[in-house]
Structures are given as C-alpha cells and as structure tokens.
Amino acid sequence: MKTLSDIQKNHLLACIPTAILETLLPKLDYFDMTLGRVLYESGGTQNFVYFPITSIVSLLYVLEDGGSAEIAVVGNEGVVGISLFMGGETTPSRAVVQSAGYGYRLPASCIKEAFNKAGPVQHLLLRYTQALITQMAQTAVCNRHHTLDKQLCRWLLLSLDRLSSVNLNMTQELIANMLGVRREGVTEAALKLQTAGLIRYSRGHITVIDRPGLEKRTCECYMVVKKEYERLLPRRIAT
C-alpha cells in the first residue's frame, strides 16, 4: 500500500509541499520497473511521468542504424518524462530501465495541471530540468574528451548516487550501449578498475569496493553534475 513516506523516498516528490503532494497521492500508481523495460520510445506518445524509488532509468539517443548512447540517468533524485510538462509532448530519446526496482507513475494530465498552476511545483520541476540539461551537456563533453575508464567511473558514481547499494547488475552489452562503445572496450576499462582495486567485476555484476578511489580516478564531469543537482534542488522535505 502506497504511503506518503514511501513516495517521499523520491527526492523530487519529497520537495513538493505536503499539502500539494497529498492531492497527488491518490493519482500516483506503484510501477514495477523491471530491467530493460522501455518507459517510452523515441517520438512516441507519453502518457505518464515516472518517479523512480529504487530503480534507475537511462535516457538514450538511438541512431538509425540501431546504435545508441546514454545522454542522462534518472533515479530517486528525479522524474522521467520532462517533455510532458515542458510542452514538447514527445522526445527523440528513449527511456529504458537500467537498474531494476520500483517507482511511481503519474498521468500526464496530472503533472501538466500541477505544473501549469505556476506555483512551487512548477519552480521545482524547472530547476530539476536545468539540472538534467547540465547532466546531458556534461555527458556529451565527457564522451568526446575523456578516456573510457574515466567515463565508466563517472557512470558508476552517478548510478551509486541513485542506489542504496554498492552492487550493480549490468551486462557488458548494456554498459556498452549506455556509453556508446564496443563491448571489448567496456571489458578493458572494467578490468583496469578491478586491477586498481576499485571494483569487483564478474559476468555483468559490479561491486564498488573503493568509492573514494573512483572519485579520484574519474574526470571533473561527475562533480560538475553532482554540484549542480545540489545547488538547484532542495535537500529538505517540504511542509
């Protein structure tokens, strides 16, 4: 049974004033986010926004030849489906669950209504959108200018920030699709991190054993994104 305290495990929902959140509670539906589940396709109609609780969703840009690259990740800090309240209705990206768990979904009409009231919900969602755009821009810079092992460090740290565990179940193919590289490149980068004593990696299962070491090894892109989320989004639960 959904409760206010459970949906507030999503940090964005927790920042909505309680009185407003209570009006949304009956309309928020529990949603099972299984690994690989597609929440929306490129150009497809979006009927819901999604608020992950224990799952992580990858936003991917898919090329005509089937290749793809990740442009952002969304976990318990945010919402999936910003084009609905930003007025675009559709987007050229695809949203795929990269780490299984659960979350809540809200019908498109409800998020539009809350946004269009031009109150605290609108201000919060606009700040979140700015933080997400920063992540997308920094990902593009990182993929162009930094080595694959640094990119993998950034990706692991962003994922850890959105999970309560140091364990990630990720196949080589999934990671390669996220980073837009060949599987062999992922294997080589993961083995470098394992040799350095930062992670344990076996058959798609990654355990981070030295997070401070990962933070030292990654590029500046991780902290740019992290600081922007911290700057733009409140840390306390609204009342």
Q: How many domains does one find in the chain?
A: 2
**Is it the case that residue 206 has pLDDT exceeding 90?**
no
Q: State what percent of residues in the chain have pLDDT above 70.
A: 92
CATH code of residue 23: 2.60.120.10
Please check whether residues 167 and 214 belong to one and the same domain.
Answer: yes
Amino acid at the residue 44: G
State the pLDDT at residue 148: 81
Region 5-27: mean pLDDT is 93
In a domain, residue 197? The reply is yes
Beta bridge partners of 51: 104
**Is it the case that residue 198 has pLDDT exceeding 60?**
yes
**Is it the case that residue 238 has pLDDT exceeding 70?**
no
Please check whether residues 112 and 21 belong to one and the same domain.
Answer: yes
In 3-state terms, the chain is what percent helix, strand and coil (to 5)?
45, 20, 30
Please check whether residues 177 and 106 belong to one and the same domain.
Answer: no
Q: State what percent of residues in the chain have pLDDT above 90.
A: 50
In a domain, residue 236? The reply is no
Q: How many C-beta atoms surround the C-beta of residue 56 within 10 A?
A: 23
Last residue within a domain, chosen from 116, 132, 166:
116
Identify the domain containing residue 17 by its residue range: 4-116
- Cβ atoms of 188 and 182 closer than 8 Å: no
State the pLDDT at residue 167: 79
Dmax (CA) for the chain in angstroms is 53
